[in-house]
Amino acid sequence: MVEPLATRNEVDPALIEEVRTGLLKTPKRLSSRYFYDAEGSRIFQAIMHAPEYYLTRSEYEILDTYKTNLLDLFTPDSRPFELVELGAGDGLKTKILLSFFDQQRVNFTYAPIDISLDALEGLAADVRQQWPRLRLNARHDDYFNALEQLSAETNSRKVVLFLGSNVGNFTPEEAITFYQQLHDRLQPGDLVLTGFDLQKHPAVIHAAYNDRQGLTRAFNLNLLRRINRELDANFDLAAFDHYEVYNPETGEARSYLVSQKAQMVEIKELEMSVPFDYGEIIHTEISRKFTWPQIEQLAQTTGFSVTGWFTDCKSYFADVIFCRS
């Protein structure tokens, strides 16, 4: 059975609050979670195929190479389980597992969760077409709201996918809070498979966020285009530029939008006037890169144990399985 997807809201209340508060901070900030409107999702699909963007290829390799090993870890017995994906997007990498599990007649339900309704509807339609017998339970919702609903509906074992190094978008404190919240919504023995981008040569990381096609630049600037459309603002996209920096000491790649002149931006929906100085930044994204000790410490701190880890052939990326204690 497929759960009905939520209807669209004209303006996301969370976006309103993010813009209202984030543009009054020093430095100004906007969360990367709002990158993913329909156009942002389209641009990100293109980014994933850019030659410099190794993350998708690396994780795809891991899932394809170790799909049998993963199935063994997901199914220690014959009981059905729920494959819950946080931030499913178009499900490109997850489809490796869906196809293999379907071929193996695995007894499971796929429950993708995403805040992008366009991406989720596209994924749901694709899954129905490719694997018509697969049980699908798509949710357009916040991760934790959806997890609570799923847990209330069934006590089946949960295997949560958090792919693509989305964990890297959190500060260390936010990551701890996130996994503690996951822990509180899961049962002992439930699993979380997380994609971690590993620390490596800084030039490789820097290039991934500064592709020659300008896709990452367009992705970052599209956030302003979304605010213009949804909140009736007048950001001049030509007056802002994309800037990315990677610090190998902290393992953090940071994305910014930089004002190229002194200017005033009007946001009519919020009745706000936002001044920008020449060179002033909006911090839009953090993408942390991890070491093995950091990954193990995250698991231990939040009530999980590491029960499996898999890397690509270059050791650029790792998919790590946490088991809820």
Where residue 69 sits, what CATH number does that domain have? 3.40.50.150
The residues, ordered by sequence, that sit 6+ positions from 152 with a Cβ below 8 Å of its Cβ are none
Residues 33 and 136 reside in one and the same domain:
no
Q: What is the dihedral of CA 6, 177, 204, 248, to 10 degrees?
A: 150
> In the prediction, which pLDDT does 10 show?
66
Residue 73 placed within a domain = yes
Reading the block at residue 212, the tokens are 């020659």
One domain for residues 63 and 116:
yes
Residue 300 is assigned to a structural domain of this protein: yes
Task: Give me the helix-helix angle, 215-231 and 13-22, nearest 10°.
Answer: 110
Decide if 297 is inside a domain.
yes
Q: What is the side-by-side order of every strand in the sheet holding 281-288?
A: 28-29, 281-288, 252-259, 240-247
Beta-strand relationship, 281-288 and 28-29: parallel
The reply to whether 108 and 175 lie within a common domain is: yes
pLDDT of residue 118: 81
Assess if residue 7 is contained within a domain.
Answer: no
The residue with greater pLDDT, 6 or 18, is: 18
| CA 124 vs CA 10, 12, 91, 118, 121: distances in Å | 22, 22, 9, 10, 5
- Are 80 and 179 in the same domain? yes
Instruction: For residue 302, report the phi and psi dihedrals to the nearest 5 degrees.
Output: -110, 15
Digit-coded pLDDT (tens) for 275-291:
999 999 999 999 999 99
pLDDT of amino acid 89:
82
pTM of the model: 0.91
The predicted structure's pLDDT at residue 38: 85
- The chain-wide mean pLDDT, for the chain, equals 94
Mean of pLDDT values over 226-233: 97
Q: Is the pLDDT of residue 108 over 80?
A: yes
Does residue 67 share a domain with residue 144?
yes
Tell me whether residue 63 is in a domain.
yes
- Residue 84 domain flag: yes
Token digits of residue 241: 């530029």
CA pair distance 242, 252, nearest whole angstrom: 17
Which pLDDT score, from 0 to 100, does residue 4 have?
40
> Is the pLDDT score of 231 beyond 80?
yes
Whether residue 312 is found in the same domain as residue 256: no
**Structural domain for 249, as ranges:** 13-50+216-288
Tokens 């946080």 identify what position? 86
Based on the domain organization, do 277 and 147 belong to the same domain? no
Strands 252-259 and 263-267 turn out to be unpaired
Give CA–CA dist 36/94, Å, rounded: 19
User: Is there a single domain that holds both residue 247 and residue 302?
Assistant: no
The pLDDT, as a whole number, for residue 2 is: 36
User: Do 224 and 241 have their domain in common?
Assistant: yes
Q: How many domains does the chain have?
A: 2
Count the helices and strands in the chain (H runs, E runs).
Answer: 11, 14
Asked whether the beta carbons of 302 and 296 are under 8 A apart, the reply is no
Rounded Cα–Cα distance for residues 88 and 123 (Å): 8
189, 62: one domain: yes
Question: 221 or 141: whose pLDDT is higher?
Answer: 221
pLDDT at 7: 40
Same domain for 27 and 90? no
